[in-house]
Structure 1
């Protein structure tokens, strides 16, 4: 029934209604009544009648945005009182146009259509009232019928125009709200994608670093009694790996907190450091790059290759057969890069499951426009990926 308005909107509307009432009251007091045009109204209580009519239309104007339904009811009550007093249209009737506009622009579904019906019915009522009143001394005849029809069309056009303008404003406002809602939804989707990307990067960094740290710590524990130098080297590798992981985590948390740029991302130049960390963890890593990159691959391709290799090597370190060789193959072709990581599996039954690492690798490849497969092959676990360069596969 009532819309929520801002304080200044309510103050403006009420002030406008009061000013309209103060202007319409004296004007309505001198309009022509049923006795003819150009003279003060010859009614029983002309001042009271003018006051009541101006009050109803002023109130309708004041609440037109707060409650279009109430405003429409007040406007109809004022019009019926005006006809009941035998008064012709006057200055106060201007409020009807603002009320019809408000029903179309701000009203609910029922009020919206009630405004349109009121415009059409109001035009008919005005025409009939004037035709039966002082406008035609002999009433409506065949001679005056054309003029009455013209009056009906003019009234319907004027009232309908006010309602139509409100409907157009309503449509524009709805379109703007829909556009803003769509923009908010798109921004939320982008933010969610960014959070997923950061979570995936966090998983890659933490999982790989912890796998290296655990492998080094286990090796140092076993060699502590026989070769103290191995312990020192293992601690150095653990410290270096932990510092690198801490720097990456801080960068990712900074992105998550401040939503700034992506920051520096791993490239092909960082692969040698990745290989060194894996070898330092005791893995026999064999890398074959043939052919080499023909130039500088796109940054997205470099990032995808690095993260896939990082996760695949982490899985090999955590789940592969201890001491078994891990083979890495990279083939940089003209339109794509083919990647493969293969490591032996420990003996015994295994329950295959798709963890976050495998899902993340597959998403990495798909985001770059490629594909990734991972499966057991003759006692070994093989990860193969194909990522296009400069287009979709």
Structure 2
């Protein structure tokens, strides 16, 4: 029933109502000539002005109550036999508020009040104590119809202006809600993307570090040089992962553009990390990229290969891993094969209960407009994907 208003709006409405009450009371007294004639008539004018001023005071906070107060003031005015006066101007403001700010019921109650009010005004003016003129007759009927149309037009005009304002307010609210929803969707997509990148970076780097740490532990006594090389690889991989994580965290903290993303030119570094972990890696690229593929396709290929090789490090038997890339004019096909370690459950994540890595690879392939399949084939785990690349740049 009550609309929330800002303190400044509430104070403004109250001040306007107080000023209106003073002006309306004085103006009605002057118009009707009751300043010195009759104290009763003067007080009755003040009561009518008070009703309409109260309606103006609450018109935005409670349009329904304002409409009720306006009707009460009109009935009191007619009951006291008072002619129309300055106070009646408040009716237009109340009708405007019912259409602009009222609930659905108040909205239509305001519309009905314009029709009923026009009829009441016509009847009161034609048959009232001040404008009787013999009352309604065939002779005064044209004047009554003209008065009905004029009153209805004036009341309906104020209500229509409020309805137009209501439509504009609704449109602005819908537009703001749509903008908020779009901003939230973009932010959510960005969080998902960053979380996916974080998983890819951290999971791959930790897999390499663990493999190198295990190798260094076994080679510490037998081959100090190998242990030193493994520790060097651990240090390099950890520094690279730390830099990537810091970049992703920066994107989380600040609303800035995307940082530099890996491309297919960085695949050799990725392959070197896997080989340094002691895993034989065979890479076959045929045919080669016929130009510079789109950045989105390059990023998707890099991240899918990164996660597939991470799974091979974590869940494979440290046997040979084969990577095949085929860059066609309209698509790129990639495949990663590795042997499954004895006792491992489908190289870690399974098709029926995929881990975050498989989910992330599928999401990347789908976002790039392609598809990805990951499943065990005999004693091997195979990740294969097809991604569209369009026309090379």
TM interval, shorter chain, is: over 0.9
* Counterpart for residue 246 of structure 2: 250
* Counterpart for residue 306 of structure 2: 310
Name the CA distance, whole Å, in 1 between partners of 2:223 and 2:344.
35
**Residue 220 of structure 1 pairs with residue 222 of structure 2:** no
What TM-score, normalized by structure 1, do the two folds share?
A: 0.94
Q: Per-residue CA shift, 1:235-271, capped at 9, x if unaligned?
A: 0000000000000000001101113111011011111
**Residue 28 of structure 1 pairs with residue 28 of structure 2:** yes
- Give the one of 290, 294, 311 matched to 2:290: 294
Name the CA distance, whole Å, in 2 between partners of 1:206 and 1:344.
23
* Counterpart for residue 97 of structure 2: 102
Secondary structure of residue in 2 paired with 1:383: strand
Q: Per-residue CA shift, 1:119-178, capped at 9, x if unaligned?
A: 111111111111112334111012222221221122112111111211121121111111
Q: Per-residue CA shift, 1:331-361, capped at 9, x if unaligned?
A: 1111111111111112347363311000100
Give the conservation status (yes or no) of the 8 Å contact 1:29–1:41.
Answer: no
Name the CA distance, whole Å, in 2 between partners of 1:46 and 1:177.
48
**Residue 9 of structure 1 pairs with residue 9 of structure 2:** yes
Name the CA distance, whole Å, in 2 between partners of 1:241 and 1:30.
93
- Give the one of 58, 77, 83 matched to 1:63: 58
Secondary structure of residue in 1 paired with 2:326: strand
Q: How many residues align?
A: 385
Unaligned segments of structure 1, at least 5 residues: 33-37
- Give the one of 116, 119, 135 matched to 1:121: 116
Name the CA distance, whole Å, in 2 between partners of 1:17 and 1:168.
24
**Residue 342 of structure 1 pairs with residue 337 of structure 2:** yes
Name the CA distance, whole Å, in 2 between partners of 1:390 and 1:153.
68
Give the conservation status (yes or no) of the 8 Å contact 1:365–1:372.
Answer: yes
Q: Per-residue CA shift, 1:271-305, capped at 9, x if unaligned?
A: 10000000000111000111111111111111001
Give the conservation status (yes or no) of the 8 Å contact 1:56–1:75.
Answer: yes
* Counterpart for residue 87 of structure 1: 82
Change (3 A) 1:50 1:41: farther
* Counterpart for residue 35 of structure 1: none
* Counterpart for residue 317 of structure 2: 321
Name the CA distance, whole Å, in 2 between partners of 1:350 and 1:138.
103
Q: Flag as ranges the 4+ runs of structure 1 deviating above 4 A.
A: 38-44
Name the CA distance, whole Å, in 1 between partners of 2:4 and 2:200.
50
Secondary structure of residue in 1 paired with 2:131: coil
* Counterpart for residue 369 of structure 1: 369
- Give the one of 230, 233, 243 matched to 1:234: 230
Unaligned segments of structure 2, at least 5 residues: none
**Residue 131 of structure 1 pairs with residue 126 of structure 2:** yes
Give the conservation status (yes or no) of the 8 Å contact 2:34–2:42.
Answer: no
- Give the one of 30, 49, 59 matched to 1:54: 49
* Counterpart for residue 354 of structure 1: 354
- Give the one of 260, 266, 270 matched to 1:270: 266
Name the CA distance, whole Å, in 2 between partners of 1:349 and 1:204.
21
- Give the one of 193, 197, 215 matched to 1:197: 193
- Give the one of 173, 177, 184 matched to 1:181: 177
Return the offset for 1:378.
Answer: 2.4
Change (3 A) 1:100 1:120: same
- Give the one of 326, 329, 352 matched to 1:331: 326
Name the CA distance, whole Å, in 1 between partners of 2:288 and 2:181.
43
- Give the one of 88, 104, 107 matched to 1:112: 107
Secondary structure of residue in 1 paired with 2:221: coil
Name the CA distance, whole Å, in 1 between partners of 2:260 and 2:25.
74
Give the conservation status (yes or no) of the 8 Å contact 1:286–1:326.
Answer: yes
Q: CA RMSD in A?
A: 1.7
Name the CA distance, whole Å, in 2 between partners of 1:304 and 1:349.
27
* Counterpart for residue 142 of structure 1: 138
Give the conservation status (yes or no) of the 8 Å contact 2:324–2:334.
Answer: yes
- Give the one of 275, 280, 284 matched to 1:284: 280
Return the offset for 1:42.
Answer: 6.6
Secondary structure of residue in 1 paired with 2:317: coil
